[in-house]
Amino acid sequence: MHDAHFHMSKELFDLFKENKMKGICNVDSVEEYECIQSLLKEYPFEFSVGIHPWKADQINFEEMKPLFSKTKFIGEIGLDNTWCDVDLDVQRRVFIQQLEFASKYQKPVILHVKGMEQEALNLIKRYKNTYIVHWYSCLDFLKEYDEVVDYFTVGPSVGIDEAVTNLVKNVDVHKLLLESDGIDAIEWAIQSRDYLKMFNHSIEQINEIKQMDCTDILDQNFNQLLKRA
């Protein structure tokens, strides 16, 4: 099983290792990068490095640049006018810097586009790359995104959130990946901190929506993404 996008914690790492998961851990600061180095000695996983839109006014591109050269994936990066009040001009500047870098070195990008779906889409169209949209929760622009991006990560709210469920219904199964977004996000979405139960629930929901067993296809999608990086 895979977790294509998560934020690291001791609680998650123990379960990740115990269940022999594969996945991409999000790194959004130099401190976090240093922290995962010791975990990587214990159990392998991939990681992505990016300046999160919520932190666009706290961390600058130059500071993170040494880490960008060490990562295969850039993310999560993007724009957000819903869950944070960081100045949108600052968010745009930092997002564009990272899109340019990622496209130049062809490092796949994990996107966060909450409330800014249309503008983020217009921006990514300018930078050719592999794109993974994390937790897309908007009923609009899905078709337009589907034409441009390569994968969508589906999180704990599938079957609960109408937009996430709509995405699974309308996007080809070969473009879907599983994600937890971390233990706190699981709790936020389904009021439980049960990592494995969440994945089993997500797979069940996807299978039901697609009317087929998608378990192996989802893992194959993740393996294909790793090959592209």
What tokens does 115 get?
A: 């409330």
Question: Smallest distance, Å, CB 163 to Zn ion?
Answer: 17
Question: Smallest distance, Å, CB 181 to Zn ion?
Answer: 5
**Residues 93 and 51: beta-carbon distance below 8 Å:** no
Given the complex with Zn ion, which of 185 and 206 has the nearer CB atom? 185
Residue count, binding to Zn ion (CB under 5 A):
1
Chosen residue from 3, 28, 80, 181 binding Zn ion by CB under 5 A: 181
**Residues 152 and 128: beta-carbon distance below 8 Å:** no
Given the complex with Zn ion, which of 25 and 121 has the nearer CB atom? 25
Handedness of CA 80, 111, 65, 44 (dihedral sign): positive
The stretch among 14-22, 117-125, 173-181, 208-216 that binds Zn ion (CB under 5 A) is 173-181
- Which residues does residue 111 pair with via DSSP β-bridges, in sequence order? 77, 133
Question: Smallest distance, Å, CB 54 to Zn ion?
Answer: 10
The stretch among 145-153, 174-182, 195-203, 216-224 that binds Zn ion (CB under 5 A) is 174-182
- List the one residue out of 47, 49, 100, 91 whose CA is nearest residue 74: 49
CB-based closest residue to Zn ion: 181
- Rounded Cα–Cα distance for residues 68 and 102 (Å): 9
Site for Zn ion, rule CB under 5 A: 181
